């Protein structure tokens, strides 16, 4: 049975790496934010606005407890998921957890390439985004560092780089 949970800061590549990793392993892929949106038929920003952060984090914890129980799965968590409740300890008890670690510069580059809207980054200059990433990454790093495995991510700016990273991660995990 395969159960891998990817954690890391927004823009680290959890979904970018998670989808092809799951495909290569022949298992299902779940992005926790997408799972929440699908289950509640609302976007995460809408849920966040309606329930506030505390309400969203409680809902996120409950949905994590559902998805983390699935077998033969790769799960991508939201950047904040490991930082609340006992989420990181819970994930470690059930799965091979992997911290996709990247420098603030790489994260900023990934976020600038991303297609999704990141409410926390709206109306910020590239310099402000990098400063924000650097500051909040420092706060979250102790939670991410609890993962069983750490995998350093470089710039994922091509299919070739993504494929190389997936192969290297599989090698590191021994699968």
- Give 79-98 pLDDT, tens digit per residue: 999 999 999 999 999 999 99
By the 10 Å C-beta count (0-12 exposed, 13-18 middle, 19+ buried), 50 is classed as exposed
Nearest CA-CA partner of 2 in 31, 26, 19: 26
By the 10 Å C-beta count (0-12 exposed, 13-18 middle, 19+ buried), 69 is classed as exposed
Residue that wins the pLDDT comparison between 4 and 130: 4
Report how far apart, in Å, the C-alpha atoms of 119 and of each of 115, 149, 169 are: 13, 29, 30
By the 10 Å C-beta count (0-12 exposed, 13-18 middle, 19+ buried), 119 is classed as exposed
Q: Where are the domains of the chain?
A: 3-162
pLDDT, position 26? 98
**Whether pLDDT at 142 is above 90:** yes
Q: What percent of the chain has pLDDT over 70?
A: 96
Average pLDDT of the segment spanning 143-160:
94
pLDDT, position 120? 66
CB burial of 124-138 (b: ≥16 within 10 Å; e: otherwise) equals eeeeebbebbeebbe
Average pLDDT of the segment spanning 47-73:
95
Task: Indicate the average pLDDT of the chain.
Answer: 93
Residues 110-125 pLDDT 10s: 888 776 666 667 678 8
**CATH H-level superfamily of 3-162:** P-loop containing nucleotide triphosphate hydrolases (3.40.50.300)
**Whether pLDDT at 10 is above 70:** yes
pTM of the predicted structure, to 2 decimals: 0.94
Average pLDDT of the segment spanning 122-151:
92
């Amino acid at each position: 049975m395969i159960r891998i949970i990817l954690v890391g800061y927004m823009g680290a590549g959890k979904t970018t790496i998670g989808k092809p990793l799951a495909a290569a392993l022949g298992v299902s892929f779940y992005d926790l934010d997408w799972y929440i949106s699908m289950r509640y038929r609302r976007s995460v920003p809408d849920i966040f606005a309606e329930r506030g952060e505390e309400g969203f984090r409680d809902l996120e914890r409950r949905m994590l407890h559902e998805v983390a129980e699935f077998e033969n799965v790769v799960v991508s968590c939201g950047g904040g998921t490991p930082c609340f409740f006992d989420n990181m300890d819970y994930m470690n008890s059930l799965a091979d957890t992997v911290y996709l670690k990247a420098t603030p510069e790489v994260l900023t580059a990934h976020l600038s390439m991303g297609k999704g809207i990141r409410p926390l980054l709206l109306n910020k200059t590239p310099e402000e985004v990098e400063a924000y990433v650097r500051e909040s990454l420092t706060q979250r790093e102790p939670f991410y560092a609890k993962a069983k495995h750490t995998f350093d991510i470089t710039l994922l700016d091509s299919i070739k780089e993504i494929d190389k990273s997936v192969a290297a991660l599989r090698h590191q995990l021994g699968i």
